[in-house]
Amino acid sequence: MATDFYSQFGFTSNPFENNTAEREPNIAAYAVRPPYLDRVLATSSQKGIFVLAGSRGSGKSATRLTVSQILWNDSPKPLVVTLSNFNVFRPYSATGAPLELFANQLTFLAIEQILSWLSSLEEDDREKIISALKGPERDLVRRLVGTFYLNRPDHSRNVSATDCFATLDISIIQKSQLWADKRWDQLVGVVSTLAARFGEKYFEVDLGNPSSYQELFKRQHAQGFGDPLYTFSKIVELARVFGFSGVLVHVDKVDETEWTANNIQDAARLIYPMLANIQLHEIDGLTWAFFLWDKVSEGLTNANGFPIRWDKIPNGEVNWSEKYLRELIEKRLYFFSNGAHSSLQCICEEEFHIDEFLPKIFQLAEYSPRSLITLLDVAISQHIQANQGQHSLVQEGSMHLGMDEYAKRSLANSGHTVVAAQIAKLQALVFNSKDVGSRFGIGPQAARARIDGWLGLGLVEYFESKVGPDGGRPVDHFTVSDPRLKRYIERGL
């Protein structure tokens, strides 16, 4: 029905149907260049670090994928290693993972990336590279592959390699026929064969088990890999053996794990060791690029127990201005109407000046491209369902109702429905612990603990401390910061 609505007004399909780059094969034809892309690219070939923060859906991962694709097809190029799966760190969620574990995991991922890259080459090209390795180089490869890659269970390596193939497939343009056909099962065999050629399996261990990891660390320490900084330097050396200029580590999706999605503190704790160790950022040939939810980067402070030297860490924040968001809408409309339309006004009533209304939509979408596309899809779909078969133009009232539906649905998809209902009971956008205690009939400590939980979800934030009319100690006040929740409260949803 949505397609019928859009075709009625000259569109080939719904311009807002998909909100992720992986599901849009023609996105290059209507994509808007992400902010900070050039800055991340510029710092990717140097040693050091860069932290890019932004709201959820602001294009951080799209920036990472774009940078990765550009670098993989450039020359000379760094070995791009992506750390976006954090399952191995789960047992350390409460205490923080040791830096040695990060060194182990990233060495594993670097080796996996090299092996997968080799498997993407034609066999003759692959053999030329392998046969060109000299004695000391072969010894380094053997030690690292045997110590950090072959010690993982076969099943774990195979699953991880398949994920690696999917990521590399987006980045690498020139690939062998096996890659062109996406025959991942056969490629897993190629990678396993290469690993067996390069190294020897000394032992097998589950890094997700802290006691097993301690045994592994003892073995690695005996082999000279006791210092994580030394291990990281060896990753660079390994990459250079295979012709790469160095190593670029991309850290992404920190807030998308089972235990960090709804806990900013746990997300900050997860990556703290990599950010806090300044020496790690000074290793020649090793570059770090972090793509963080802005609320996680804001949580990395002395007050929260995570003292980060931000004065020594170059950083920036993705900010999509109204100009860029309008361009995003215009390009989508133009592409999906074969150049016939570039404004939402074509599907809106003449009395409803949508261009003047857009700032309200941008604010609710938190200036996030992904959220903006989702919001427009939900709002217009709601209008279509309410006017089945009539294909009537969108009115301001129906847009408001669609925005209400988006706010409720988005909070539900984030798992915040219950909490949103709790905060809404306060019937205020600014409150303190006394207000919470009075409303829910709980004591001061329980009230503050409840507020801390809301802070951890990113729904509210500290507003100010002020002395009451009767004097005394200043009282902390908090405000609802999530625009979806603001709408939920203000419109009594």
pLDDT, greater one: 481 or 47: 481
Residues in a beta bridge with 286:
247
Residues in a beta bridge with 288:
49, 249
For 408-440, what is each residue's pLDDT tens digit? 999 998 889 999 999 999 999 999 999 999 999
- Which residues 6+ apart lie within 8 Å of 389 measured at CB? none
- Which pLDDT does position 261 carry in this prediction? 81
Omega prior to 76 cis, within 30 of 0: yes
- Which pLDDT does position 326 carry in this prediction? 93
The yes-or-no verdict on residue 206 having pLDDT over 70 is: no
Over pLDDT 70: what percentage of the chain? 89
- Which pLDDT does position 34 carry in this prediction? 74
- Which pLDDT does position 93 carry in this prediction? 86
pLDDT, greater one: 464 or 177: 464
- The closest alpha carbon to 208, from 97, 126, 133, 308, belongs to 97
The CA-CA-CA angle for residues 417, 419, 421, to 5°, reads 70
- Which pLDDT does position 203 carry in this prediction? 54
The yes-or-no verdict on residue 103 having pLDDT over 80 is: yes
Confidence of residue 493 (pLDDT cuts 50, 70, 90): confident
Query: What average pLDDT does the segment 52-80 reach?
Result: 86
- Which pLDDT does position 178 carry in this prediction? 61
Query: What average pLDDT does the segment 288-292 reach?
Result: 95
Highest mean pLDDT, choosing among 23-37, 183-197, 403-417? 403-417
The yes-or-no verdict on residue 173 having pLDDT over 90 is: no
Query: What average pLDDT does the segment 126-139 reach?
Result: 90
Confidence of residue 386 (pLDDT cuts 50, 70, 90): confident
- Which residues 6+ apart lie within 8 Å of 272 measured at CB? 96, 300, 306, 308
Highest mean pLDDT, choosing among 91-95, 405-409, 461-465? 405-409
217 HSE (CA, 13 A, CB side): 19
- Which pLDDT does position 162 carry in this prediction? 78
Query: What average pLDDT does the segment 255-279 reach?
Result: 89
Query: What average pLDDT does the segment 20-29 reach?
Result: 64
pLDDT, greater one: 200 or 287: 287
The yes-or-no verdict on residue 405 having pLDDT over 70 is: yes
Query: What average pLDDT does the segment 173-199 reach?
Result: 73
Query: What average pLDDT does the segment 130-143 reach?
Result: 89
Whole-number mean pLDDT of the chain? Answer: 85
pLDDT, greater one: 183 or 355: 355
- Which pLDDT does position 242 carry in this prediction? 94
Cα separation, 90 vs 252, in Å, equals: 16
- Which pLDDT does position 457 carry in this prediction? 85
Report which DSSP code applies to 149.
I
Count of residues in the chain = 493
Residue 220: count of CB within 10 angstroms of its CB: 19
Report which DSSP code applies to 345.
G
- Which pLDDT does position 182 carry in this prediction? 66
Over pLDDT 90: what percentage of the chain? 42
Q: DSSP characters for 377-405? A: HHHHHHHHHHTTTT-PPBPHHHHHHHHHH
The yes-or-no verdict on residue 119 having pLDDT over 90 is: no
Cα separation, 238 vs 232, in Å, equals: 10
The yes-or-no verdict on residue 390 having pLDDT over 90 is: no
Q: DSSP characters for 291-339? A: EEEHHHHHH-SGGGT----GGGS-EEE----HHHHHHHHHHHHHHHTTT
The yes-or-no verdict on residue 1 having pLDDT over 70 is: no
The yes-or-no verdict on residue 156 having pLDDT over 60 is: yes
The yes-or-no verdict on residue 201 having pLDDT over 70 is: no
